[in-house]
Amino acid sequence: MDKNTATGLGLIFLLMVAWFVVTMPSEEERARQLAERARQDSLAQVEVPQNPVAQAPLVTQQREATISEQAESEVATPATGLFSTSTETEVFETTVTTPLYTAVFSNKGAGPVSITFSNYNSWDGEPHQLISDSSKSAYNMGFLTTENYNVDTQNLLFTPVSGTADVALNNGETKELQYALRLNDGRQIVFTYTFIGDSYEIDFEAQFIGVSDYIVGRAVDFGWTSKLNSSEKDRTQDNLETAAYVYLGDELEKFKVDDVGREEDTFNGNVQWAATKTKFFTQFIKPLHQTEAAILTGEMSGDADDPLTQNKYTSAITSGIPANGILSYQLFVGPLKYYDIKRVDEHAYDMVEVGYSWLRWFSDPFVRFIVIPFFSFFSGFISNYGVLVIIFAASVKLILSPLTFKSYKSMAAMRELQPQLKEIQEKYKDNPQKQQQETMRVYKKNKVNPLGGCLPNLLQFPILITLWRFFQNSIILRQKEFLWASDLSAPDFIINLPFSIPFLGNAIGGFVLLMSIAMVFQSKLTGGMSGGGGGGNPMAQQMKVLQYIFPVMLLFIFNNFASGLSLYYLIFNVLSIVQQLYINKTLNKGKETEVAKA
């Protein structure tokens, strides 16, 4: 192996290592306006702000701490003042059934207490139910009254205007569910939900009749207060992707708690939407009116890498009640599936990590306009997603093959120039400047680019890095079976170890093991392809060792990631081996022809 080729391959290796180190998942640190709060019980850390944010909306500054989770699970204490005059005393539940989900709504808070998906199961095979706290509505509207009372609608009993009969929708149908909080003198707050049979979207409207002037600043917080249930067996990975988001000023802000405890952040301005999500599911709130701020909270009960750690995130949007007394929102409660959530907002899918921030300029269009349409189109003809991954890997390899061929052709040309380059090194060993000039003259004369073997490979990196992130976080492969893998979005462990190895764990995946073996074979072919240097060359010996170290390193890195990702790289490497064997044969045949002509 010649020195330049070895340097180029070493550069590729160093870039990959640097990429893994620099881009390991971590949250950006930003200044948070925190308030010290006192612990009220052993089950939840409920805190009272000591230093209110100066520029936060009035309702946010003046509202006191919420009650503890233990108290929340009990029968709510009736609100005082005007909002204690509601005469409703019984709790009623109404089931809303669509082809996509079954939701149970309660008049306590006038909102959903459970949402169970028809087409998505939890890791244990049971239909996934999203809402953790089923004692009251997951949606809440909070405000401060002129009588100085904090009111949370999720603690109040509404009257079911639509009755308590269950609601069933077919595809294409829309139906309403309406609740009213009826107070004295005809004053009331009316919540209206409009369901769409073939969509996870829900239109929501809150109408304030005769009560707006009793709300301080006419400002209300509407948001989601329940923890989202985890759906994956690997709770650690699910927790890493659990967070809250807000989109305002045409920028996405991610809110993630890094330490044990509770944190809150307020984002002032006109909010386009706010959401919380787990790895594959989300609840999403988009106001259809002017807003003042978003309030995101997060709680973490233990270390981030502890699978028993509980993560709870909430999101609320502060709005002023307009003159007509109506606040309107688009809600989305469902899977993070591109075409479904895109209908609500073009930027909603930005919550899915399809690439690192410095590469989003490439990752976003590549995923949205190539990867997702590919799987969406071909899944209409091929139901096996493992086969689709194989076809996709073959397609990417075919598209990149001109770059690969150019790389190997350049490496072969460098190999042929080795005798001349060695002569120059010996002749001008005491004159490095002259040696460099003569070396470049040889390259120019033979029309060889010394970086020709490296640059084509580097140009493939944006694609490989994007797919690295996308296959781990996309719901496309979730619970799709292939061969021994029961879920292509999770590891496919086939070997259980009697002990645990740091970073690797106590089991080894099947596809990642085959991928590593294929990489060893591919590295040996690449080493033989580059030629030069001889077995006694120290650089050649180092690169020979690297042929084995690098695949082992990737085995450790990939082992606990999605098996679909390992399957993709396995197929990509196998096709690279076939391509290298073909190129080797073609180049050797070309040499034999030249010798015969001579």
Whose tokens are 């881009």? That residue is 23
The answer to whether the Cα torsion of 119, 124, 126, 128 is positive or negative is negative
Which secondary structure element, helix H or strand E, spans residue 70, and what is its range? helix 69-72
* β-bridge partners, 284: 275, 332
Instruction: Give the largest Cα separation in the chain, rounded.
Output: 108
DSSP three-state, residue 80: coil
Q: For residue 500, what are its two tokens? A: 């645990």
CATH of the structural domain 58-352, one choice from 3.90.1150.170, 4.10.410.60, 2.70.98.90, 3.40.50.150: 2.70.98.90
Which two structure tokens, joined as six digits, stand for 451?
């970086």
Which residues share a beta bridge with 103? 96, 115
CA angle at 563 for the pair 560 and 569, rounded to the nearest 5°? 105
DSSP letter at 417? T
| Interatomic CA distance for residues 154 and 555, integer angstroms | 49
Give the other-Cβ count within 10 Å of 405's Cβ: 15
pTM of the model: 0.76
What Cα–Cα distance (Å) separates residue 579 from each residue in 25, 407, 561? 34, 12, 27
Residue 389 near residue 375, CB atoms below 8 Å: no
Considering the chain, tell me which residue range(s) the CATH 2.70.98.90 domain(s) occupy.
58-352
The separation between CA 582 and the C-alpha centre of its own chain, rounded to angstroms, equals 39
Distance CA 106, CA 93 (A): 4
Number of separate helices (H) and strands (E) present in the chain:
15, 22
Per-residue pLDDT of the chain (598 residues; tens, 9 = 90+): 444 434 444 544 454 544 444 334 444 433 333 333 333 333 333 333 333 333 344 344 444 333 334 334 444 444 457 777 677 788 889 999 999 999 999 999 999 999 999 999 998 889 999 999 888 899 999 999 988 888 999 999 999 987 778 899 998 899 999 999 998 888 899 999 999 989 999 999 999 999 888 999 999 999 999 999 999 888 888 888 899 999 998 899 999 998 888 999 999 999 999 999 999 999 999 999 999 999 999 998 888 778 888 899 999 999 999 999 999 999 999 999 999 999 999 999 999 988 777 888 888 999 999 999 999 999 889 989 999 999 999 998 888 777 777 676 666 666 677 777 777 777 776 767 777 777 777 777 766 666 555 655 666 788 888 888 888 888 998 888 899 988 888 888 888 888 888 878 788 888 889 988 888 887 777 654 444 444 444 545 555 666 677 788 888 888 888 888 889 989 988 888 888 787 777 766 655 555 444 4
Residues recorded for the chain: 598
Residues 116/129, Cβ–Cβ less than 8 Å? yes
DSSP reduced 3-state for 249: coil
